[in-house]
Chain A
Amino acid sequence: MVLLELKNITRRFGDLVAVQDVTLSIESGEFFTLLGPSGCGKTTILRMVAGFDAPDEGDILLDGRSLAGVPPEKRPLHTVFQSYALFPHMTVAGNVAFPLEMAGCSRDETRRRVNETLALVHLTDKAGQFPHELSGGQKQRVALARGLVNQPRLLLLDESLGALDAKLREEMQIELIALQREVGITFIFVTHAQDEALALSHRIAVMRAGRIEQCDEPDKLYTSPANRFVADFVGKINLLEVEVTASSKVLLKLKAAGLGEIAATDPRPISVGERGAFALRPELIRVFDHRESADLKNRFEGRVKELLYLGDVTLYKVELANGFIIEALMPNAASGRAKFYEVGDPVAVCWRQDAGVYLRN
């Protein structure tokens, strides 16, 4: 069931178009993420949904009703700010109680709901403390509790995990997922960290320069990126410039200059002679001894230019015949010891025909 709709939203700041003709539908109960580099317009969209900004064109509908002209305090949705924005002069309990007081809840009801929500975020014992006495992770949870306590239709999170260190971030991510699934409230999450987006979301909208490049589930986004930008932004990718030499339902032949032919598949009707890019994820490439043969169509020889031992995997940068440096990710042996190829070793790389995606220009 659709909860929030953005219809053809455009927002300009002078000459700069921050958001360009964006249309989105967000389902009830979803964890939806707006992902993109800074300046792509994701925060602007969030602020427009929250009511601190208004679109120049287009409309925002909540439960089918337009939010135009409705001020932030009257919208049944809340924001978790990047800096948490906890009220310094109120205790944790005071902060969490605030939205209930604004909504006119009775004292008993308020107390009950505050305790309930604090238990949900595991902060019951901090109820009487002030924000400056809390750690970053704890402040984060107070901000969450405050945003959830009066059960809004929607919770907006603005790069909320940005200020936390790596380990804490990971913990909070797991907590966030559990929280959202438990509470069932729709979350709209804004971030520039693609790994975070992939881990948390039901669906992700990748944005660039005010437009939505692709809106899909995480695994579809990863395995079938719609264009170069998405392919490159989400995870690591190899991009080869290619020309289509043959096209059929079962086989797409792509010629990469100086390299040879790549066998791929694509269900779309593609004309011969078209130019585009071949996108291939590093973990789908196998690096092996150049004297070995492979019974895969896509086999190319090259030399190891660089390698990075990362503990569980090794990243190889292999220079191919045409000078292109392909990145391949190989899992290390079960014992943890890698079967290293040294820099300068001649090797071969290969991948399956259905690995990789053809991207049109």
Chain B
Amino acid sequence: MKSQHWLWAASLTAYAFLYVPLAVVVLFSFNDSTLNAQWVGFTTHWYAKLLGDGEMLRAAANSVLIALLSSSIATVLGAMAGLAMHRYRFRFLPVLVLTPVAMPEILLGVSLLLFFRQVLDLTLGFLSILVAHITFSIGFVAVIVRARLAGMDESIFEAARDLGATPWATFRRITLPLIMPALVAGYLMSFTLSIDDFVITFFVAGVGVTTLPLQIYSMIKVAVTPEVNAVSTLLMALTLTLIFVASRFAPDVLKAKA
């Protein structure tokens, strides 16, 4: 049928549109040339250069450390928020938890910059980035946890108490095991978001601390060499793996990210 062909063609174009640019980036990370204009030859020289680049390694270390810490805290706070949103229908809670996710990132970045500098007189750096990342990750974890809870038979929790479990025992033996997949997915998503974040980090990082995305940004602005491609490829591989693993734990995780 003609309409089928048209549909396939259009979809293939869309997929190509999505993948070709990235494929080019990956491909040219192996390009043996300082300019990115033309393909010269195959080399892994740029990856080696990356590993020797002190600033890059520091940025990577920062990114990973911040991601680990912020995801841990965000998962705990987000789980609480998701639990609260599902169980106690406070009107304000979804608004408070989800707006940081819905708003353009620049607004969050700017408001935190003001807050840290003007009110707290805090030097921008590690701590400010950490707090910023936690703030926007809470919403993601909350949504995933809430979705998991919504799919469960509510009376289970009452049954646990009815059978003699204190609220804490109910949480430990029933709630926690049942939301664990959501927690894992939430953790991985927060990690990914944190590692990848550019806009908000850009505003609250200050002078002393850099993260991978910030490094990439300055590299793009200053001097474009295939080193950028190399670090981009590595970063992509990392986040891809994380999202893939996350989707094993909670199928909704991809929809939550959108």
Chain A residues within CB distance 8 Å of chain B = 50-52, 71-74, 78-79, 81-83, 85-89, 98-99, 102-103, 146-147, 150
Chain B hits for A88, CB < 8 A: 152, 156, 178
Given contacts A73-B165, A85-B153, A89-B177, contact A98 B160 (CB under 8 A): yes
**Are A102 and B169 within 8 A (Cβ)?**
yes
**Are A83 and B153 within 8 A (Cβ)?**
yes
The distance in angstroms between the C-alpha atoms of A127 and B166, with both chains bound, is 25
Closest to A103 in B: B164
**Are B162 and A79 within 8 A (Cβ)?**
yes
Closest to B156 in A: A85
Chain A hits for B24, CB < 8 A: none
**Are B162 and A89 within 8 A (Cβ)?**
no
**Are A87 and B174 within 8 A (Cβ)?**
yes
Q: Is the interface of B mostly helix, strand, loop or mixed?
A: helix
**CB-CB nearest 8 A-B residue pairs:** A102-B164, A85-B159, A85-B155, A99-B163, A72-B161, A81-B155, A79-B162, A73-B161
Chain B hits for A99, CB < 8 A: 163-164
The distance in angstroms between the C-alpha atoms of A72 and B156, with both chains bound, is 14
Q: Could you list some 7 contacts between A and B, CB below 8 A?
A: A73-B162, A73-B167, A81-B159, A85-B155, A87-B159, A87-B174, A102-B163
Extra pairs beyond A72-B162, A87-B174, A103-B164 (8, CB < 8 Å): A51-B161, A73-B166, A74-B164, A79-B158, A85-B156, A87-B160, A98-B160, A146-B163
Q: Is the interface of A mostly helix, strand, loop or mixed?
A: loop
Report the minimum CB–CB distance from A152 to chain B (whole Å).
Answer: 9
Chain B hits for A98, CB < 8 A: 160, 163, 165, 173
Q: Would you list which residues of chain B between 145 and 184 have a CB under 8 Å from chain A? A: 152-153, 155-156, 158-167, 169, 173-174, 177-178
Number of interface residues of B (CB under 8 A): 19
Q: Would you list which residues of chain B between 193 and 244 have a CB under 8 Å from chain A? A: none
Q: Would you list which residues of chain B between 126 and 150 have a CB under 8 Å from chain A? A: none
Chain B hits for A85, CB < 8 A: 153, 155-156, 158-159
Report the minimum CB–CB distance from A49 to chain B (whole Å).
Answer: 11
Q: Which of B152, B161, B169 has the most CB of A within 10 A?
A: B161
**Are A89 and B178 within 8 A (Cβ)?**
yes
Closest to A72 in B: B161
Chain B hits for A73, CB < 8 A: 161-167, 169
The distance in angstroms between the C-alpha atoms of A79 and B164, with both chains bound, is 11
Report the minimum CB–CB distance from A53 to chain B (whole Å).
Answer: 11
**Are B163 and A78 within 8 A (Cβ)?**
yes
Report the minimum CB–CB distance from B159 to chain A (whole Å).
Answer: 4
